[in-house]
Structure formats: C-alpha cells, structure tokens
A and B are shown apart, each in its own frame.
Chain A
Amino acid sequence: MTESTLAIEQLELKHCDLFRMSGRIDGSTAPQFEEAMQATTNAGHYKIVLNLAEVSYMSSAALRVLISTSKECRKLKRGDVRLAEVNERIAQVLDLAGLNVLFKIFDSEAEAVDSF
C-alpha cells in the first residue's frame, strides 16, 4: 500500500518565510500543509513563498489551504502567499480552479523571495 507523502522544509528569511515542498498534497497530507501555514501566520509571519517545484500533485484539499492562508496573509495588506517554480501539473490544477490569476507566480525561488 502506498501512502501519500509530503515533505516541507521551512526557511525563515529576512523578508519572508520560504517553504520548499515535495510530494503529493491530497486529502491525507493537506492537514500537514495547513498546520505549517497556520503555525506561520499564528507567529505573525504573513509573507510566504511556496516553492512547488517538487510537488507532483495538489488536490482541492491543498487549494483550500492555499486560499485560506492567502486570505489571512492579505488582510490589512500585511503580506501575501507567492508561488515559485510551479511545474506543468500544478499549473494545470491552479488553472482548473481559476487560481492561476489570483496568485503571483515566479519562475524562480529567488525572484519570489526578492519580490517581498
């Protein structure tokens, strides 16, 4: 039996928090993603970069976390969730959900980090 796995590496940078994620974000691993995002916003950090290069799949469960975290970060214009290195499959999912136009997406992690 193959269980879905998700690995999240977090780096607190000077101007933002960078998350390098790898694996599948589906109904079983989305709670782990949500926990990481909530811990960050609860700590008062609202500038977030997600590097999705190694994420092979995102379901609606992952998109719900993306939407709710972004709403939280954009309140009072205190921050944002920005995406970097979005691969073809994840771009396909964002497009299907109509989210591709709502997020700032950068080709490289460095560009996304520098945007804050």
Chain B
Amino acid sequence: MRTRFEEIRLAADLANLGAIDNFVTACCKRWHVNESDSFEIQLASDEAATNIIHHAYEEEEGVVTIRCWVRDGHDFCVELRDSGRPFDPDEIEAPDIKAPLEDRAIGGLGIHMMRKVMDEVSFESGDTGNRLLMVKRSAVP
C-alpha cells in the first residue's frame, strides 16, 4: 500500500535533468538509501527521463511526472509518467557490452544501465499515458 510518496511534475526538457537528479537524490536521502544505491537510482531516473524527452515527446512540449515511494518497507520505487508516444525499453535491443571499442554500438547503453542497476523495470501504456516503474529492492534500511 502506498501510504506516502514524493512527486514532482516538470516540463519534459533536457534542461530539467538536473532538477530531476536533485529530486530523486533528495527522496533517497529522505528514506536513508545509501550513497551508492542513491547514485544508481539517480542514474536510472536520468536515463529514463532522457528517453521520455527524446523518444516519447520527440523533443516536443510535454510534462513528465516523477514519483518516489517505498514498497513493503524496503523497496525503493521510482515511477515516471508521461503522455507522449509509448516508448517501451523492452523493445530496444541490448548492446553487446563486451564488444571491442571499434564495434561498440552508440545506442542502447542507457537502457542497459537502467536494467543493470534496478531490480525491476516495467513499462505500461494506456489511456492515461505511459508509466515506467523501476524498483531497487532492499535499498531502504
């Protein structure tokens, strides 16, 4: 059950990525998430927000809503909502991160890192827009 949450609504603009970082980091601090986990949650949120700005809204005007809460006492949840074009991270092919530099693909790294640092990444799209939920389990002491 969600008893308490923190939420911020911002224009979907790359200039707001710093504000998103501050918001997520403040939420982590509020729930006593350690520094390393906090950094990873911030990284995943930044990559997710960047994808919404680039792909869901395709650089056009829009709003992104970020909400943080704690599930079952210990799981840190961050949800990003938007009303742009559905952009499902699962549809992006994972890059080969063992390839030599010469063969490294330029795309897909952000989603790869999101999946790597978060325990759950789920996307759903409906009449009310898109919702990306990311969970880092046991991040809250």
Contact = CB atoms under 8 A, between A and B. Distances in A.
Interface of A: 1-5, 24, 26-28, 57, 59-61, 63-64, 67-68, 70-71, 74, 89, 92-93, 96-98, 102
A3 B36 CA distance: 23
B17 A4 contact: yes
A67 B14 contact: no
Interface of B: 14-19, 21-22, 36, 39-40, 42-43, 46-47, 50, 53-54, 97-98, 100-102, 104, 106-107, 109-110, 112-113, 116-117
Contacts of B98: 98
Contact of B43 (A5, A28, A59, A102): A59
26 contacts: A1-B15, A1-B16, A2-B19, A2-B22, A4-B18, A4-B21, A24-B21, A26-B18, A27-B50, A28-B15, A28-B18, A57-B43, A59-B50, A60-B109, A60-B110, A61-B110, A63-B109, A67-B101, A68-B106, A92-B39, A92-B40, A93-B43, A96-B112, A96-B117, A97-B109, A102-B101
Contacts, number: 85
B60 to A, nearest CB: 16
- Residue of B40, B46, B107 with most chain A CB atoms under a 10 A cut-off: B46
Nearest to A81: B101
Contacts of B19: 1-3
Contact of A64 (B102, B106, B116): B106
Given A59-B46, A71-B101, A98-B98, A27 B113 contact: no
A2 B18 contact: yes
A1 B11 CA distance: 11
B106 A67 contact: yes
B16 A59 contact: no
Contacts of A70: 101
B66 to A, nearest CB: 14
B50 A74 contact: no
A96 B22 contact: no
